[in-house]
Amino acid sequence: MSVIMVRNLKRDYETSLGIIKRDKKIINAIRDISFEVERGEIFGLLGPNGAGKTSTIKILTTLLAPTSGQAVVLGHNCFGEEKELRRKINFIFGGERSLYWRLSAYDNLSYFCDLYHVPERVKKDRIEKLLDMVGLGDKAQYKVETFSKGMKQRLQIARGLVNDPEVLFLDEPTIGLDPVGAKTLRKIIKQLSSEGKTILLTTHYMQEADELCDRIAIINKGKLFALNTSEKLKENIDSSVIEVEIHTLKEDTLLRLNNIEHVTGVDVIPNDVGYKLKIDCRNPRKIMSLINDQLSENNVKSILMREATLEDVYLKIIGGDYSA
């Protein structure tokens, strides 16, 4: 049985418009999403702002009722069996301020242990172990208000583990962290998964998703657009990219590039130099000189060849369409 099972999930919000708020508008935040997550998996939900990621996590963590469809975690219905489920899961919303800043790190965790009815005989050991795990063992008695953002975020992770949850939901866990802080957090997330915890996370950082996630779901406008391992997602798009920076863009350049055999698409991104052309292709070595020929009048500044990244996949799927 899958640890998380989402089937034909839908969630609408009703909002009022205008000053006297008589006009109602329905927002279809989740239109139709289905996926399953297995035990020990790190599962990533990617998508632009407003795609429906947080709403999905809120439903799975029993904080929001679905409009229709099924959301089942650890065999418990997320709507109707909240009490049983809440003991076994936990969640962390990146950048949240659920910690008590006037209390020490230890006392914060102690407070949250009590909320989850963690037995006194295991409480002290668990708190110490968690503080060590997130690298705050020597800061146990320091007040949270003296902590940096990264330290607070790591304490949030510890807070999310006080009830030893089987499933952990992380909404943008590394948002606002410096590269070292984010790396430390990713290491902790991997360690948790290797201990058998199931993790569902959202992130806007493609490299992070690539490094962490066993499987990735890309959603947009409340619908699932792709679901697979990062490797398979990359294989499914044409697997190489030639990036060219040019000073000038001639009228027929794109047409000429698109006519080259093995070229499957060209994106134009204006930049400081003039334009960056992202040419999706197969057999890049074979067509490199042809591309160079076609760009001879475009004042080429640089040209490089690389394998497709998860960001290429994401941009291809989401395109420039950000309207929710």
Q: What is the binding site for ligand ATP (CB under 6 A)?
A: 13, 15, 27, 29, 47, 49-55, 324
Neighbouring C-alpha atoms within 13 Å toward the C-beta of 107: 10
Q: Are strands 215-220 and 223-228 parallel, antiparallel or unpaired?
A: antiparallel
**Strand locations in the chain (E):** 4-17, 23-37, 42-46, 68-73, 76-77, 89-93, 167-171, 198-202, 215-220, 223-228, 240-246, 263-270, 275-281, 300-307
Q: Which is nearer to ligand ATP, 13 or 101 (by Cβ)?
A: 13
Q: Shortest approach of ligand ATP to residue 324 CB, angstroms?
A: 4
Q: Shortest approach of ligand ATP to residue 71 CB, angstroms?
A: 14
Q: Shortest approach of ligand ATP to residue 22 CB, angstroms?
A: 17
Q: Shortest approach of ligand ATP to residue 251 CB, angstroms?
A: 38
Q: Which is nearer to ligand ATP, 27 or 249 (by Cβ)?
A: 27
Q: Which is nearer to ligand ATP, 54 or 298 (by Cβ)?
A: 54
* Burial of residue 127 (number of CB atoms within 10 Å: 0-12, 13-18, 19+): buried
Q: Which is nearer to ligand ATP, 29 or 167 (by Cβ)?
A: 29
Q: Which is nearer to ligand ATP, 79 or 111 (by Cβ)?
A: 79
Name the residue type at position 261. E
Q: Which is nearer to ligand ATP, 55 or 193 (by Cβ)?
A: 55
> Rounded to an integer, what distance in angstroms lies between the CA atom of residue 88 and that of residue 62?
12
> Rounded to an integer, what distance in angstroms lies between the CA atom of residue 190 and that of residue 81?
29
Helix (H, G, I), strand (E, B) or coil at 321: coil
Q: Which is nearer to ligand ATP, 140 or 175 (by Cβ)?
A: 175
Q: Which is nearer to ligand ATP, 134 or 170 (by Cβ)?
A: 170
Which residues, including other chains, have CB under 8 Å from residue 191's CB and lie 6 or more apart? 133
Q: Shortest approach of ligand ATP to residue 285 CB, angstroms?
A: 38
Q: Are strands 240-246 and 76-77 parallel, antiparallel or unpaired?
A: unpaired
Q: Shortest approach of ligand ATP to residue 45 CB, angstroms?
A: 8
> Rounded to an integer, what distance in angstroms lies between the CA atom of residue 278 and that of residue 243?
5
- Gyration radius of the chain over CA positions: 24
Q: Shortest approach of ligand ATP to residue 258 CB, angstroms?
A: 33
Q: Shortest approach of ligand ATP to residue 26 CB, angstroms?
A: 10
Contact (Cβ atoms closer than 8 angstroms) between residue 24 and residue 15: yes
**Quick one: how many helices (H) and strands (E) in the chain?**
11, 14
